[in-house]
Structure 1
Amino acid sequence: MRYLKYFILVLPIVIALEAQAQEEDCAFKLREAQQLYDAGRIETIPEMLQACLERGFTQEDRLAAFKLIILCQIYADDLEKAHAGMLSFLKRYPEYELTTTDPVEFRFIFEKYRTRPILDIGAFAGVSLTHGLISQPFTPFNLNNAKPKYTSDGFGFQAGALFNFYASSNIQISLEPMYAQSNFQLVYEQEPIEGIATLDHHEKQSYLYIPLSGTYEFIIGKFRPYARLGFQLGLLFANNTSSSGIFEGPDEDNLENRNQLNYWVFGGGGFKYKLNKSYIFVDLRYNVGLNQYLVSPDKRFTQPNHNWVYMYQDSDFRLNSFMISVGYARSFFNPKRVN
């Protein structure tokens, strides 16, 4: 039993020493291969370095070895192997970016391949502020004094999934299904029955949003700002109101009086910060409602509690909102020769 303990303690040390020795041996082989390449003796270099590509090189040395092997195959006029080597290189280093020190021959092969991601998958969450835009006001009171407005009633929130499809390195098509909750309230520029009661009307909605948008990304190193334009469908599946005036009542389900399928156009932007095969992002957007929120004008006067108890009538209005979200996405690559 005592020997087993010694074995368990010593084994990791032996493995670490062996790995270090192999690393040093592969580093020596790389230096020797570079000297042979500089002397124009390239025939044995690919075979010399091949074993160390799988195990033995540091990350930096493996990158240099891959490039050296590809250059040897180019100079040996074995373009089939050079292309196979480049494909292996890009599968291991899909986000590699050419540098000014890369030889023109290496650049020539590299540029024949699609190196951008094909898809990003991620998740995000954030907050929103919602307000209404009135096209035709209605109220039980004198409109000259009691001018209604639909304003934000605190923060809503949203959370969802991100699917980014790449049309090019800069242009992406984004699908972002999300759950969202928003809040707004009715206020008056001047209280219509001041001194008698304060009129309050609050609404809370729950949506399934399906936004589809196009983005243009500006590639500036790891920091990548982008602009976005898109169209959004929203399925309203819950709508609760709470109202008070001279009388105060419980929350009510007001879904039947609201359009359950809604439409928006939106614009915005944000930025990504690149990580290894992934990125974090901050997204800002403004949604502009395209349809009236009241399901039909007939419903304006057929809400007895709202009309007579709480002294509330729906105006013709659309809902706009501002959103900010933070998220994380993983990029997926499929390097492919394109010319």
Structure 2
Amino acid sequence: MLLLTTAFAQDKCDPESTLALATDEFNAGHFYGLEAILKPCISNKTFTKEQLVRAYQLLTQTYLILENPAAAEESYLNLLSANPEYVSNPERDPIDVVYLSKKFTATPIFSWFAHASGNITLPRVIEDNEINVGSRQQYTIKPRWSAGGGVIWNYNDKLTAELGLDFSSNTFGYYEDEIFIDDNLTMTENQLSLQMPFSIKYTHVRQGLSPYGYAGISGSLLLSSNQSFLLVDRTPGATASEGLEQSSEFELNNRFRRDAINRAAHIGAGFRWKYKLDYLFVDLRYSFGLNNIVRNDNSVRDVNDIFPSSVSAFKAGYIDDYFRLDQAMITIGYIKPIYKPRKLKRARTTRGVLKDVKSKSNE
């Protein structure tokens, strides 16, 4: 026995041979030499994650048999560090190991996530500020993007609270035709903002794809907003070839015409799936703007609070409607749980364990 222990207590080791020897020694009741057999491979980090779990399983059982509860607890914590999702099983593990496992958990308290999204912005008109009577107006949508991340607080496996911070690029268009019968106007607004969504999420945990749904609120800080205009002015002639057409283009920084702080409520749903110890996810979200984003005191004023002839109201015959901004998003992302193996202040119930034991004894 001493010769075998000495042979394996060296700097290098064969992981599978070491585990096979340790298992044979355990089955033979030779418990005192197991630590010396396994220690070289553990210290040199030669074991794979799966092999390390098997090694700490043997050590945990050994220390329980030798009535060394402190060492058994330390070994079980090391086991959870190697595989945070390890769950003891009464059909596989000795009952004393199952009872010991109820004192510990590796369930993450916090996780972090990162994501990238495609979005479309949809103005929802509260009041139409029409200048050109008889013209036709419509808003148009254009795809843009956002990216960000955040932190997740895990109340349990199913219920979580999430706080994010996103950098978002948004755009929407406005088209008006039949202005004085023949003219038309195209406007595009581009915005950059920081958004901070807070969500409560419920996940139906299962093997493979786990669906989830969530709802929440968000605040956003508008960083910039710019409008570009294209006005087409047509003068009809006796024939189509005799008509004149002139177009003018200009841009306007309209950040001062928008509220800097805006609010929204959102709902969403998606799926997550396991990737090693982490998660990948895809979801759809719809955000409902809660406030009018247009500052009515600056509808026809410039940043210096005067009425210049070059602003959109005079040059293109355009004044902002009062509107909220809705947003639809499709998101792909990555969740990294922060596993923390630890001893519980209060052991989990062993009712299920007792039930399994009784059912076996009745067979």
Using structure 2 for the length normalisation, give the TM-score: 0.77
**Which stretches in structure 2 are left out of the alignment for 5+ residues?**
1-10, 234-246, 303-308, 347-363
Q: Residue 300 in 1 paired to residue 299 in 2?
A: yes
- Give CA-to-partner distance per residue, 1:178-224, whole Å, 9 cap, x none: 21110111235xx3337522221111101011112222222223533
* Contact 1:132–1:149 under 8 Å retained in 2: no
Q: Residue 321 in 1 paired to residue 321 in 2?
A: no
Q: Return the offset for 1:47.
A: 4.9
Q: For residue 29 of structure 1, what is the aligned residue in structure 2?
A: 21
**How many Å separate the matches in 2 of 1:222 and 1:77?**
40
**How many Å separate the matches in 1 of 2:83 and 2:48?**
14
- Out of 145, 156, 161, the residue aligned to residue 168 of structure 1 is 156
Q: Return the offset for 1:310.
A: 1.3
**How many Å separate the matches in 1 of 2:336 and 2:34?**
36
- Give CA-to-partner distance per residue, 1:113-153, whole Å, 9 cap, x none: 232123323422221000111122121133xx54544331x
- Give CA-to-partner distance per residue, 1:52-111, whole Å, 9 cap, x none: 434554543332221122123334443332222211211222232445534443232223
Q: For residue 118 of structure 1, what is the aligned residue in structure 2?
A: 109
Q: For residue 157 of structure 1, what is the aligned residue in structure 2?
A: 145
- Give CA-to-partner distance per residue, 1:24-71, whole Å, 9 cap, x none: 53033133035236xxx6555455444443455454333222112212
Q: Which structure is larger by alpha-carbon Rg, 1 or 2?
A: 2
* Contact 2:266–2:286 under 8 Å retained in 1: yes
**How many Å separate the matches in 2 of 1:310 and 1:97?**
68
Q: For residue 227 of structure 1, what is the aligned residue in structure 2?
A: 213
Report the secondary structure of 1:230's partner residue.
Answer: strand
**How many Å separate the matches in 1 of 2:16 and 2:118?**
53
Q: Residue 237 in 1 paired to residue 189 in 2?
A: no
**How many Å separate the matches in 1 of 2:137 and 2:144?**
22
* Contact 2:230–2:250 under 8 Å retained in 1: no
- Out of 165, 181, 200, the residue aligned to residue 169 of structure 2 is 181
Q: For residue 273 of structure 1, what is the aligned residue in structure 2?
A: 273
Report the secondary structure of 2:319's partner residue.
Answer: coil
The verdict on how the C-alpha distance between 1:105 and 1:222 changes in structure 2, with shifts beyond 3 A counting, is farther
**How many Å separate the matches in 2 of 1:264 and 1:311?**
30
Q: Residue 199 in 1 paired to residue 185 in 2?
A: yes
* Contact 1:229–1:267 under 8 Å retained in 2: yes
Report the secondary structure of 2:147's partner residue.
Answer: strand
- Give CA-to-partner distance per residue, 1:291-331, whole Å, 9 cap, x none: 101023x3334465322321212112100001122223332
**How many Å separate the matches in 2 of 1:106 and 1:271?**
35
**How many Å separate the matches in 1 of 2:16 and 2:173?**
70
The verdict on how the C-alpha distance between 1:24 and 1:209 changes in structure 2, with shifts beyond 3 A counting, is closer
Matched-pair identity in %: 23
Q: Return the offset for 1:242.
A: 1.0
- Give CA-to-partner distance per residue, 1:241-295, whole Å, 9 cap, x none: 0112235232110111111111111111222222233222223211110110102
Report the secondary structure of 1:138's partner residue.
Answer: coil
Q: Residue 135 in 1 paired to residue 135 in 2?
A: no
Q: For residue 357 of structure 2, what is the aligned residue in structure 1?
A: none
**How many Å separate the matches in 2 of 1:225 and 1:102?**
32
**How many Å separate the matches in 1 of 2:49 and 2:300?**
72
**Which stretches in structure 1 are left out of the alignment for 5+ residues?**
1-17
* Contact 1:240–1:254 under 8 Å retained in 2: yes
Q: For residue 72 of structure 2, what is the aligned residue in structure 1?
A: 82
**How many Å separate the matches in 1 of 2:248 and 2:102?**
70
Amino acid at match of 1:239: S
The verdict on how the C-alpha distance between 1:299 and 1:209 changes in structure 2, with shifts beyond 3 A counting, is same
Report the secondary structure of 1:263's partner residue.
Answer: strand
Q: For residue 68 of structure 1, what is the aligned residue in structure 2?
A: 58
**How many Å separate the matches in 2 of 1:46 and 1:225?**
44
The verdict on how the C-alpha distance between 1:149 and 1:84 changes in structure 2, with shifts beyond 3 A counting, is same
* Contact 2:52–2:79 under 8 Å retained in 1: no
Report the secondary structure of 1:177's partner residue.
Answer: strand
Q: Residue 53 in 1 paired to residue 50 in 2?
A: no
RMSD, matched Cα: 2.6
**How many Å separate the matches in 1 of 2:334 and 2:69?**
39
